[in-house]
Amino acid sequence: MEFPESELLQGLPKQFFANLVAKVNAKVATGADVINLGQGNPDKPTPDYIVAATQKWVADPATHKYSLFRGLPAFKKAAADFYQEKYGADFDPETEVAVLGGSKIGLVELPWALMNPGETFLLPDPGYPDYLSGAALGKVKFETYPLLEENNFLPDLAKIPAEVAKRAKFIYVNYPNNPTGAVATLDFYEELVAWAKKYQVGVVSDFAYGVIGFDGQAPVSFMQTPGAKEVGIEFYTYSKTFNMAGWRVAFAVGNADIIEALNLIQDHLFVSLFLALQYAAINALTDPRRDAAIQEIVDRYQARRDAFIEAAQKIGWRPIIPGGTFYAYMPTPAGYTSEAFADLLLEKAAVAVAPANGFGKNGEGYVRIGLLIEPARLVEAVERIGNLHLFD
């Protein structure tokens, strides 16, 4: 017997990162010493205090039962308290906080929960590729808006055609931004709230890199903006804040109607998170060692960013200095597409980078660098690239 995939699965976009990984693995198989700057996976362990708390809770038989469908009230309260402390934003833990098994789940399931087939939402270009998975699974349409270097990779809301804005049900924004490393400003978010109210568009803020800001500048949250809760929600993940990418712990805060819809679809898909993880998540947010652990993570990425940028400048590679995330977004040399440049670096220098056209057509002409190895190795990667004399 054969069991063909459904039309729904056949309509999913190709996994961009799977193709990248295959190319890197093929090069490694030749025995090459590949420096992989194409990944987006935190390379350091979760802080010890969180690991110890998790071990304690895993050993407690009380956590081995089913969770409440919508998560522990104590976890939701810890999330709300965290936002109040960090961003001055107030949320009702029971109606304005949703527990998630990673923020990707929320971002992808939102169109199922809040849109009807054929409706439209707006996505950034370049942007996180899995946003497109939500469109395919929800059978909804999407329009893109450009993130351009001349506008500091912020959307120019005034240039979104009125007929597109009127048709849109939601707009996704992501700052600090993957892949560009750009950060948002409070002025931009105030403009976004006003635009959302004018056109009756819901705002979905992907705050995955929320703590990773450089030069002493903490990234701002969309939820700091007056009126933000009226028009949208924000997704917050532990993956980057606490080096917990594989743990799949996140939450969303914001508009009660949107939160209820996310909770309702999850009632049918999941039975929330393993209780031990939820208790550990509470410890992560409330332990007095939290801020020191976060600062250590941010300082590490700052040191890596600075080492990479300095090395790039030495070989004549014009840097676009990121304000946040653990990425650097770099232009390709004259005469090279993103894909051709990435393939050349892998073949001739054994350096893997992510061609940014994989994040959208406006990513063409750039590559994304993951700052996820130690400074000396980043410098070595740039020196190998310099030996190709592409920027002379």
Report pLDDT for 179. 97
Considering the domain architecture, whether residues 33 and 79 belong to the same structural domain is answered as no
Is residue 59 assigned to a domain?
no
Is residue 109 assigned to a domain?
yes
Q: Are 47 and 292 in contact (CB under 8 A)?
A: no
Q: Which amino acid is present at 289?
A: R
Instruction: Name 329's bridge partners.
Output: 368
Considering the domain architecture, whether residues 224 and 327 belong to the same structural domain is answered as no
Nearest to 254 by CA among 230, 272, 226: 230
Tell me: the pLDDT tens digits for 278-315? 999 999 999 999 999 999 999 999 999 999 999 999 99
Considering the domain architecture, whether residues 203 and 301 belong to the same structural domain is answered as no
Task: Please measure the distance between the N-terminal and C-terminal CA atoms of the chain and give it in whole angstroms.
Answer: 60
Q: Are 255 and 224 in contact (CB under 8 A)?
A: no
Q: Which two tokens stand for residue 271?
A: 């039975």
Q: Are 325 and 209 in contact (CB under 8 A)?
A: yes
Number of domains in the chain: 2
Is residue 207 assigned to a domain?
yes
Residue where a domain stops, chosen among 288, 316, 351: 288
Measured CA to CA, the distance from residue 350 to residue 30 in angstroms comes to: 11
Report pLDDT for 19. 79
Q: What is the domain extent for residue 178? A: 65-288
Cα 127–chain centre separation: 9
Tell me: the pLDDT tens digits for 80-135? 999 999 999 999 999 999 999 999 999 999 999 999 999 999 999 999 999 999 99
Measured CA to CA, the distance from residue 124 to residue 110 in angstroms comes to: 16
Nearest to 94 by CA among 110, 72, 62: 72
Considering the domain architecture, whether residues 116 and 31 belong to the same structural domain is answered as no
Q: What is the CATH number of the domain that holds 93?
A: 3.40.640.10
Q: What angle do CA 45, 291, 322 make, to 5 degrees?
A: 75
Q: What is the CATH number of the domain that holds 331?
A: 3.90.1150.10
Residue where a domain stops, chosen among 258, 288, 318: 288
pTM of the model: 0.95
Mean pLDDT of all residues in the chain? 96
**Gyration radius (Cα) of the chain, Å:** 21
Considering the domain architecture, whether residues 31 and 90 belong to the same structural domain is answered as no
Considering the domain architecture, whether residues 254 and 115 belong to the same structural domain is answered as yes
Torsions phi, psi of 246, nearest 5? Answer: -80, -10
Considering the domain architecture, whether residues 284 and 306 belong to the same structural domain is answered as no
Considering the domain architecture, whether residues 175 and 283 belong to the same structural domain is answered as yes
Instruction: State the burial class of residue 254 (Cβ atoms within 10 Å of its Cβ: 0-12, 13-18, 19+).
Output: buried
Considering the domain architecture, whether residues 35 and 105 belong to the same structural domain is answered as no
Tell me: the pLDDT tens digits for 331-371? 999 999 999 999 999 999 999 999 999 999 999 999 999 99
């402390």: which residue's tokens? 85
Band of residue 159 on the pLDDT scale cut at 50, 70, 90: very high
Measured CA to CA, the distance from residue 285 to residue 53 in angstroms comes to: 12
Considering the domain architecture, whether residues 234 and 379 belong to the same structural domain is answered as no
Residue where a domain stops, chosen among 263, 288, 313: 288
Report pLDDT for 297. 97
Contacts of 263 (CB under 8 A, 6+ apart): 69, 70, 98
- Cα separations (Å) of 201 from 162, 193, 252, 257? 12, 9, 18, 14
Band of residue 181 on the pLDDT scale cut at 50, 70, 90: very high
Contacts of 253 (CB under 8 A, 6+ apart): 79, 80, 83, 89, 91, 96, 97, 98, 223, 233, 234, 236, 259
